[in-house]
Structure 1
Amino acid sequence: MEIALVVLVVALALAFDYTNGFHDAANAIATSVSTRALTPRAALIMAAAMNFIGALLGTEVAETIATQIVAFDLSDSEHAHVALVAILAALIGAIVWNLITWWRGLPSSSTHALIGGLVGAGIAGSFMVKWDAVVDKVVLPMIFSPLVGFSLAFLLMVGVLWLFRNSAPAKTFRRFRAAQTVSAAAMALGHGLQDAQKTMGVIFLALLTAGWAEREDGIPLWVKLAAAAAISAGTYSGGWRIMRTLGRRIIELDPARGFVAESVAAGVLYTTAFWLHAPISTTHTITSAIMGVGATKRVSAVRWGVAGNIATAWVLTIPAAAAVAALTYFLLSLVLL
């Protein structure tokens, strides 16, 4: 039974990674596509390739997911079996919420859906949730990363506007449109660095639970490659519904603002991954950066009603995914426990 559960967890984790890819594809490329710096197909190919590379650049975020959210009791085979069922329920909760928000065209956080799933399933399975780590690694970054993204994007955009105040608009926009190829690639690299690692962390957690891996040995290479391939495939399949929201419904972007938003979001993703080891939301970061550059036009240029709907999805993601995961755990326990 344990073998079947581990295989099922790995398969669902990769399915979640795939949904993460098409759900969050817009994070990296929506601004570039909306400003016509890249064609949609070229942008998707670039994003998929950079996602794959980014996924292989580190494991710090994956280890946070695997070891610092829920303390699964692995003292004997019975507890390990229950832990595997809880991990399975967590993945189902995250996938269901991802699909709901994707269908609604809302750029919610796949990261927080997964973490909410782990917390909900952990509570339902009577495992200890590490609330201090959840606050430090999830809640505080969830609050501050959008604020930092908005503020930095606003200030940097003000600087760009001042620096190019006497430049010819057409020539300046052409240059920024070319520069967006680089900033979009950087954003896609950061997306792979952050989001693919979360799937690695769940698979690693399942392997640790089953006794098929040792924490000291780190994440196996096949897990890294599988997670990288899954998120890249999902990214290439596209996320057109959410792309429209990020690229046009929040604000009509020009190439300069698109470049600044992508650059700031990529910088925040790298900082939190390599320095804080915190699994932050790429969705929250790029969306807040887009709002920041948009606010430099005028406050009313940002469609705050759309932004409010997105913020509502942000707030609901962790508790909603946790509720679905808890319900799934109770249903699975009737069959598997």
Structure 2
Amino acid sequence: MLYLFSYSDLNHSLFVLLALFFVLCYEAINGFHDTANAVSTLIYTRATSAHFAVMMSGLFNFLGVLLGGLTVAYAIVHLLPNDLLLNTNSKNALAMVFSMLLAAILWNLSTWYFCLPASSSHSLIGAIIGVGLTNAFTTGSSLVNALNIPKMTNVFLSLIFSPIVGLIISGVLIFLLRFFLKKKKNFYRIYMTPLEREKKDGKKKPPFLIKIALILSSIGVSYAHGANDGQKGIGLLMLVLIGIAPYGFLVNLNASKKEIIYTKNTINHLYEYYSKNKDKIIKTINHQKKISNITKNYNYFHIIKKIKKTKLLLKDIYNYNELNIQKRFKLRHFLLSLSENIDQTIHILNISKEEKNFLKKSKEDILKTIEYAPMWIILIIALSLSVGTMIGWKRIVITIGEKIGKKRMTYAQAMSAQITASLSIGIASYTGIPVSTTHILSSSVAGAMLSDGDGIQISTIKNIALAWILTLPVSILLSSFFYWIALLLI
């Protein structure tokens, strides 16, 4: 971690520390903003005490960040074009970083204050979009190139459709519970609210098996939240550090000799593959040139040229510290560009399953030493998220637990919502899709209550929907405004 400051003067080092502080604040706010997603059902069904639920959620959020991988993290990093921050001077990079962070933090705190379960993911992505667009306006560059459009499209689609999926799956689970358990003797218990349980059975706690199911599903949501939202924090921090301290984070300076040799071997195998399939690729490109936009930016000879340049750059290199800053920049640019070319190759060519698997594996291998995160970054993000989880959670819990449905949640509704959220977010984390934990859980609760015929509070749903609709444009405008002001001041 100390090498973060080894190339900096005092002022730059202070800005780096301040940027780290802002990222950790964002992640802590994310923690207490989203804690309700995991603990509200436990608290309102009386399965555990509030303090136990929050402590447990904090622990499994920590583990989720620690073990969740980096696929979502780099989905966040690549929302901006690969080299946008690197092509600016250090002052502009700092302006971008603080504009993004301040916009996301302000909106998250505002929605938390008004007890609205809005999406931290939306606010972060909106802030990144705002910076990208403002940079395009101020530099006179193309708006099309201001953002990584394919990555942005995938993220938008996931954020739009994931709440709809949550609502449907949760409603289906309620239906299935009724269908398969209707002949069971104690079936009625699962459809009790805690108050009904206390009045009818004289017990405050849910039945044992229901309690276990609620706790396990809550653990699932906490872990999945850590894996998905924690990775966003890791991605944000890596984006920040690549922008303001590129000398230390363009490539993994701790990559082993074995990893670097493996990267070289993969590059060699790619060269052999493209050389062997030269005629096939050129013929396909010429055939599709008039009907496919993707082929306009796809050139066989450019790919071969990049592979050769990468091979030359890595010749006799077994430690990335031997590369100067310009060569680290070139290596990162070449490898990211090759990964995009591999995606295009898979999309354009009619290739066998074996070839497709080879190319996908090659892409993973060449990115291993640039799509990384030091362990200290993973640990401080995990700690920030888990600590944030343990504070400030009450405001959103009230909205989720009491204000979505017209009645209090039953045990079945709580389980359905939690199981839906944990599975949906877990799958999204595994596949590298950044989704909103808040929106999935909120829509799952609504889906369960609608399926049961209990109805929902329209005023609350309107407020949540309004926050959902406003988050992106407000975050875009805030970060754009802050970045514009910063550019005037520097």
Q: TM-score, normalised by structure 2?
A: 0.65
Partner of 1:32: 42
1:244 paired with 2:254, answer: no
Partner of 2:250: 214
Note if contact 1:83-1:125 (Cα within 8 Å) is conserved in structure 2: no
- Which deviates more, 155-164 or 326-335? 326-335
Partner of 2:267: none
**Matches of 1:12 and 1:75 in 2, distance apart?**
20
- Cα offsets for 1:160-204 (capped at 9, x unmatched): 112221332465451223310100010000111111111111111
Note if contact 2:78-2:148 (Cα within 8 Å) is conserved in structure 1: no
When the two chains are superposed, the root-mean-square deviation of aligned CA atoms in Å is 1.7
- Which deviates more, 166-175 or 48-57? 166-175
Note if contact 1:73-1:80 (Cα within 8 Å) is conserved in structure 2: no
- Deviation (angstroms), 1:105: 0.4
**Matches of 1:83 and 1:14 in 2, distance apart?**
18
Partner of 1:195: 229
**Matches of 2:471 and 2:134 in 1, distance apart?**
18
Note if contact 2:35-2:57 (Cα within 8 Å) is conserved in structure 1: yes
**Matches of 1:132 and 1:320 in 2, distance apart?**
22
Residue number among 39, 62, 68 corresponding to 2:79 in the alignment: 68
- Deviation (angstroms), 1:327: 1.3
Letter in 2 for 1:64: A
Residue number among 425, 434, 438 corresponding to 1:283 in the alignment: 438
Unmatched runs of 5 consecutive residues or more in structure 2 = 1-10, 137-144, 191-205, 252-368
Unmatched runs of 5 consecutive residues or more in structure 1 = none
- Cα offsets for 1:53-97 (capped at 9, x unmatched): 000121111111112345453555x53431231121101000000
Partner of 2:346: none
Partner of 1:320: 474
Letter in 2 for 1:101: T
Note if contact 1:55-1:192 (Cα within 8 Å) is conserved in structure 2: yes
Partner of 1:263: 419
- Which deviates more, 95-104 or 323-332? 323-332
**Taking structure 1 as reference, are residues 293 and 156 closer, same or farther at Cα in structure 2, changes over 3 Å only?**
same
Letter in 1 for 2:150: D
Letter in 2 for 1:90: M
Residue number among 63, 66, 84 corresponding to 2:94 in the alignment: 84
Letter in 1 for 2:178: L
**Matches of 2:181 and 2:95 in 1, distance apart?**
57
Equivalent residues in 2 for 1:90-109, closer than 5 Å: 90-109=100-119
- Deviation (angstroms), 1:304: 2.6
**Matches of 2:436 and 2:459 in 1, distance apart?**
21
- Deviation (angstroms), 1:321: 1.1
Partner of 2:385: 231
**Matches of 1:249 and 1:178 in 2, distance apart?**
25
Q: TM-score, normalised by structure 1?
A: 0.94
**Matches of 1:274 and 1:254 in 2, distance apart?**
30
**Matches of 1:74 and 1:326 in 2, distance apart?**
15
- Cα offsets for 1:101-134 (capped at 9, x unmatched): 0011000000110111111122222382123311
Structure (1/2) with the larger helix percentage: 1
May I ask how many residue pairs the two structures share in their alignment? Answer: 332
**Matches of 1:107 and 1:290 in 2, distance apart?**
12
**Matches of 1:122 and 1:5 in 2, distance apart?**
21
Partner of 2:121: 111
Note if contact 2:174-2:452 (Cα within 8 Å) is conserved in structure 1: no
1:254 paired with 2:410, answer: yes
Note if contact 1:93-1:325 (Cα within 8 Å) is conserved in structure 2: yes
Residue number among 166, 176, 184 corresponding to 2:210 in the alignment: 176
Note if contact 1:141-1:278 (Cα within 8 Å) is conserved in structure 2: yes
Letter in 2 for 1:114: L
Identity of aligned residues (%): 30
Partner of 2:349: none
Residue number among 9, 15, 21 corresponding to 2:25 in the alignment: 15
Larger Rg: 2
